[in-house]
Structure formats: structure tokens, C-alpha cells
Amino acid sequence: MTKSKGGKFWNASCNPIVVTNCKCEVPNCWAMSMYHRFKDNYPKPDKDGIIWRPEQLDKIRSSGKARVWAMCWMGDVSKSSDNNRYLLDVFHYCDMVNEMRKFRKLPMHTFLFLTKFPDLCWFRQDAGKGIFIGTTVTNNKTANERIPTLIDTMGGYYCDLWLCVEPLLGPLNLRSYLLDRDNCIKQVIVGCEAGPNARPTDSAYIRSVVRQCKEANVPVFVKQVTPKSRLLDGRTYDELVWNITT
């Protein structure tokens, strides 16, 4: 288990897919705000509102250091979007790069995929080492909808799962998922909402998630307790199951 320095649980990003019409439930969607902020720098989206930039993948292959990559975090899709063809290409590319690094006796990258729609069929394959599939939950409702779906979708395949509990907007009970060793949930990230118009998070909710992770011996990383502080009861929580280097 490693610890992050400086409050970041990944140290490189790659966004070959940009979705311009995300239908997630988060009104202050980070991906959409980033797209609109830099809209003039992107090519025109296709009829499904998707921008495909495969050249972005080159920086993974050219990276000498092993990194923790935030993969396609601007490319989450709704069920109505025909995006699987792109996601599959990215998924296979990551697996290929790690196989090359393994052959050359280099440390492998870690690839963090994250979705609010874990029932998408692109997950249904052998993931390979170094690939973590995660889903975003914000309260008990989204947790009970998405976590069982993620586990069921990945059933029978080698894969490590993780949870992004951000923004945490209400009480959250994860015990049944964390304590079941067959579920393969290896990491929990938790935090409040940040940015303009951020909705407040009760620190008691975050404290509860941390306690549940400790009970289940699952690493927990507190990204932020308030938009300007990571301190919870006077300390930070930086536990990461993957290896992050500067």
C-alpha cells in the first residue's frame, strides 16, 4: 500500500474520448465544465456528441516512468451513446502497452477507468493486470444501483474494482460491498464537491465512509473534506492500493 504526496491519487491523464452531452446526475459535472472551458481546442463532435482523439494514446506508450493514469474521464457515456467501439480500442491499447512493458521488464502503468454506467458491455472481457474499473457513487441510491451492477458485470473476469465516492452528498453504507471479499473492491476515494456552486458535504458522512473502509481493511483516500482542506479530524487519509510516483 502506498501513500500519495500532495493529495492526488493519480499523476497522469489521457482523454482520447470526449463526450459533449453527458447525461449524468451531477449538475456540476467536472468533465462537462472542462469541455466547455476548452471547447475551442477540440475538433467537432460526431452525431452522438463524441470526439475521438486516438493520438492522445501516444503519450502512454512514450512514457518512460510507470504512472497512474486517469483514463477517459471526459469520455463517460449514457446508455444511448454508441461509444463502445472507442472504449474497447482504448482498453486494448492499455493492455498492450503493459504487456510490452512487462516484456521489457519495466514497471507497469496503472489505468483507472471510471464510469457512472457500469452496465456497459465494453467491461465484459479479461481486464489484465494494472487496470482498475471504478464507478462513481454519491449516496445510498446510486451505490445500490451501480455497485452490484459493476460487480455482476465483471463477474468471472480478472479485474480490480474501485469506488469514487465523490461528491458524497448524503449518508452512505458500503459495508456489505466492502466486507464481501469476492467483490474485489480494492480502493475507495471519497470527498466533497469542489468548484463553483459546490454543494456542501457533512463531514460526518465522510467520517462514516472512512470508518467502514477501516473495518473492512480497504484502503481509503480522502480527496477533500471541504473545497479547501483535506483534513478530517486533524489528519489526512492517503492510502492507495496502487503505486503512485512523482
What does the pLDDT read at residue 99?
92
Asked if the structure places residue 245 within a domain, the reply is no
What pLDDT digit, counting tens, does each position of 65-81 carry? 999 999 988 877 555 45
Is the pLDDT confidence value at 188 over 50? yes
What pLDDT digit, counting tens, does each position of 87-146 carry? 878 888 998 999 999 999 999 999 999 888 887 655 545 556 788 889 999 999 999 999
Q: Which domain holds residue 16?
A: 2-240
Is the pLDDT confidence value at 51 over 70? yes
What pLDDT digit, counting tens, does each position of 134-187 carry? 999 999 999 999 999 888 876 555 568 899 999 999 999 999 999 876 667 999
Question: How many CB atoms lie under 10 A from the CB of residue 245?
Answer: 11
Asked if the structure places residue 149 within a domain, the reply is yes
Q: Is 72 left (phi over 0), alpha (psi -120 to 50) or beta?
A: left
Asked if the structure places residue 246 within a domain, the reply is no
CATH of the domain at 20: 3.20.20
Count the domains in the chain. Answer: 1
What does the pLDDT read at residue 48?
77
Asked if the structure places residue 143 within a domain, the reply is yes
What does the pLDDT read at residue 80?
46
Is the pLDDT confidence value at 205 over 90? yes
In the three-class reduction of DSSP (H, G, I as helix; E, B as strand; rest coil), residue 185 is classed as strand
Asked if the structure places residue 74 within a domain, the reply is yes
Which helix (H) or strand (E) covers residue 225, if one does? Answer: none
% of the chain with per-residue pLDDT over 70: 78
Residue 166 C-alpha cell reads as 465523490
Asked if the structure places residue 79 within a domain, the reply is yes
Asked if the structure places residue 176 within a domain, the reply is yes
What does the pLDDT read at residue 29?
65
Question: How many CB atoms lie under 10 A from the CB of residue 157?
Answer: 14
Contact indicator for 144, 135 with CB cutoff of 8 Å? no
Asked if the structure places residue 148 within a domain, the reply is yes
Q: Chain-wide mean pLDDT for the chain?
A: 83
